[in-house]
Structure 1
Amino acid sequence: MKALRLHEYHQQPAYEDASDPEIDGPWDVIVDIGAAGVCRTDLHVIEGQWEEIQHPELPYILGHENAGWVREVGSAVTNVAPGDAVIMHPLTSCGLCGPCRIGDDSHCENATFPGLNVDGGMAEQLRTNARAVVKLDESLEPADVAALADAGLTAYHAVRKARAHLVPGTHAVVIGAGGLGHIGIQVLKALTASTVTVLEKSDQAMELARDLGADHTVQMTDDDTVAGEVDELTAGGAHVVFDFVGEQGAEKLAPRLLRDGGFHHVIGYGGTIELPTIEIISREISVIGDLVGTYNDLVELMALAADGRVSMTTTAYRLSAGAQALADLDAGSITGRAILVPDRLMS
């Protein structure tokens, strides 16, 4: 099969031949990839940021946002069959450890993470397991939802965690309306009654945010100006800030946008948050990390997608053009999310 494989950090992955995955255990599932999302995490992987966390053995195939059609299943698999359209949870969890037992499978103690520490889905085929596959509604195509496997799932997970604090009359601020943020806006409108203000640099992304239901948009300029506009719009600060950027200064701006007692949800990453402890205590603000989401979160998100309440804005590239897609993402020239589609599926 063809695949996009990383051979060395700080170098572009190579589009090349790779061995087809094979069934190795009773719970394995082989999927013919319909599309794989291109994520800023892929850029961080190439930069080597995940080397000490996931310890991948190079070379390996990138791609942790994947959907397609079941090709083959192991002897114990009963929840899907060959031909079924599926989306894959980013992690292949065990189902037996403590976190899995309580439904917190995104923190599985024995998980693998295709695209981060084992071969991922920027290829023609992927091996996952029965616990990771979610069968798609007949109305959904793999290419339409692939990037929801991480970008959408993480956004949904963050909003779901914050939902109790977003009752009618509250105000949510979203930093970044890109690949993650434009899903976060839709989930906020679907699950909460809060007013939503979106902060963005890109005019295209701001227009998309308004189209998706944002109540207010603020152009990202200097921090003092932005903080003043948000304070006025929210009448004293946001109840919850969702930072879908997490770097380039957004992580430092976010706490300034909160009212006392507010919640700063960190979704994007790459920067460093520094807050005086007296500020955390005196303002009683909370900083909360959001990692991917659970299997049940993904099932719920697919229900919203099938109902037409959440959709992904995507730009499709051939798998063979994966290096260009990564470069375009790094340059900030993609609206929504890029996806890689195997060349044989592109007309």
Structure 2
Amino acid sequence: MKAARLHRYDKDMNVELQLEDLPKPQISAPDDVIVRIGAAGLCRTDLHIIEGVWKDIQDPQGTLLPYVLGHENAGWVEEVGSAVRTVKPGDAVICHPLRTCGVCYGCRRGEDMYCEHARFPGLNCDGGFAEYLLTSERALIKLNPNVVPVDVAPLADAGITAYRVAKRAARLLTPGQYAVVLGVGGLGHVALQVLHELCGARTIAIDRSSSARTLAQELGAHHVLDGNDTVVQEVKDLTHGGAHVVIDFVGELGAEQVSWQMLRQGGTHFVVGYGGRIEVPTVHMIINEIAIAGSLVGNYMELVELMELNAEGRVKLHSQKYRLDEINRAIDDFKHGRIVGRGVIVP
């Protein structure tokens, strides 16, 4: 099969994925499933992997390379193990990003991301920038008959990451309150739609990209700002004192320091993007009683819920498609902000 593999990390990203012919994955366990990839989303985490940001976490022994990236995958079931009962060859599916064990405490709680024995295709084993992917029955969700893999693949990670944090934010927000979405890219444009579906808060979308701001307006953001040097004061003026929730999908380049300053007393800053460092004076946290919380991808049921919203046309994915042999052009476009919404790799 054709697959795009990373052979070395490079903090300056002066490296390209290599398109190679590899053996098709094989069934080796009763719950294994081989998926013929219909589409795989391109994620900022893929850029961080190439930069080596994840190296000490995903590859502490330095034995993973070369391997296939791609952790947002959808396609059609190709082959199943002897114990698989819920899917069959030909079924269209989306893959939860993790292969989980189902029996540890994290899995028993329903929090797939807490699985103690998880495998993460695209991070610590071969992923979906290829024609075929090895995963497990437990990771698969069958698609609604009117949904095709190429239209939803990035929802497997970007989508549920945005859904989970927006759902958490919606629990804190009442009609008329304010939620800031910082970064209206592949995740932010999904979160904006989910907030509109789950609560009656007013939304403020912030992005330095004019195309992203246009998308935010099309998606119904109540206010759209360009993220200039006066953005904190602009938010405070619009909200008459500060936002009740700020969701930061950037997490670096100064955005992480701006986000908490937009909050009003009692507000919550959700951190989704990463790479930077948050430094908040403790006296500010106490006097204003603000909270800063991280949010990690999403669990299986959250992906089920998101797929229902998508099937009903209530949360849509905006994407730009590339062939597998265009993977390096896609990465370059993503790195330089030329993709509106999400990049999708189609074998």
Normalised by the shorter chain, which TM-score bucket? over 0.9
Which residue, out of 150, 160, 163, partners 2:170?
A: 163
Alpha-carbon offset, residue 105 of structure 1: 1.2
**Residues 1:256 and 2:265 aligned together:** no
CA-to-partner distance for each residue in 1:88-142, whole Å, 9 max, x for gaps?
A: 0011110000010010111100000000000000000000001110100011110
TM-score (norm 2): 0.97
Whether contact under 8 Å (1:314, 1:339) holds in the other structure is: yes
Shift in Å, 1:313: 0.5
Q: What residue number does 1:16 align with?
A: 20
Could you state the TM-score of these two structures normalised by the residue count of structure 1? Answer: 0.97
Q: Give ranges in structure 1 of 5+ residues lacking alignment.
A: 343-347
Secondary structure at the counterpart of residue 197 of structure 1: strand
Report the secondary structure of 2:214's partner residue.
helix
Offset at residue 46 of structure 1 (A): 0.3
Q: 2:29: which partner in 1?
A: 25
- Percent identity over the alignment? 55
Asked whether 1:183 is paired with 2:187, we answer: no
**What CA distance in whole angstroms lies between the structure 1 residues aligned with 2:209 and 2:263?**
23
Number of aligned positions between the proteins: 340
Paired residue type of 1:268: G
Q: Name 1:4's counterpart in structure 2.
A: 4
Q: CA deviation at 1:170?
A: 1.1
SS at match of 1:131: helix
Aligned structure 1 segments of 4 or more residues deviating by more than 3 angstroms: none
Q: Tell me the equivalent position of 1:293.
A: 298
- Residue type matched to 1:175 in 2? L
Match of 2:335 among 330, 333, 336: 330
Structure 2 residues not aligned, in runs of 5+: none
Deviations 1:295-322 (A, max 9, x none): 0000000000001001111100000110
Q: What amino acid sits opposite 1:34 in the alignment?
A: G
**Amino acid of the structure 2 residue aligned with 1:41:** T
Deviation at 1:162, TM superposition (A): 1.8
Among candidates 74, 82, 95, match of residue 88 of structure 1: 95
Residue of 309, 315, 321 corresponding to 1:304: 309
Instruction: Verify the 8 A CA contact 1:106 1:295 in the aligned structure 2.
Output: no
Amino acid at match of 1:205: A
Q: Distance in 1 between matches of 2:206 and 2:331?
A: 24
Q: What is the Cα deviation at residue 58 of structure 1?
A: 0.6
Q: CA deviation at 1:248?
A: 1.1
Matching of residue 201 in structure 1 with residue 208 in structure 2 = yes
| Aligned-partner Cα distance in 2 for 1:9–1:110 | 25
Alignment of 1:335-346 (within 5 A): 335-342=340-347
* 3-state SS of paired residue (2:138): coil
Aligned-residue offset at 1:328? 0.7
Instruction: Render the CA deviation track for 1:46-75: whole Å, top value 9, x for unaligned.
Output: 011111111261111000000000001111
Q: How does 1:234-273 map to 2 (within 5 A)?
A: 234-273=239-278
Distance in 1 (alpha carbons) for counterparts of 2:152 and 2:254: 30
Q: Which amino acid counterpart does residue 289 of structure 2 have in structure 1? A: E
2:83 partner letter: A
CA distance in 2, matches of 1:290, 1:324: 30
Distance, in Å, in 2 between the alignment partners of 1:277 and 1:27 is: 49
Distance, in Å, in 2 between the alignment partners of 1:319 and 1:8 is 19
Aligned partners of 2:168 and 2:188: how far apart in 1? Answer: 16
RMSD of aligned alpha carbons: 0.8
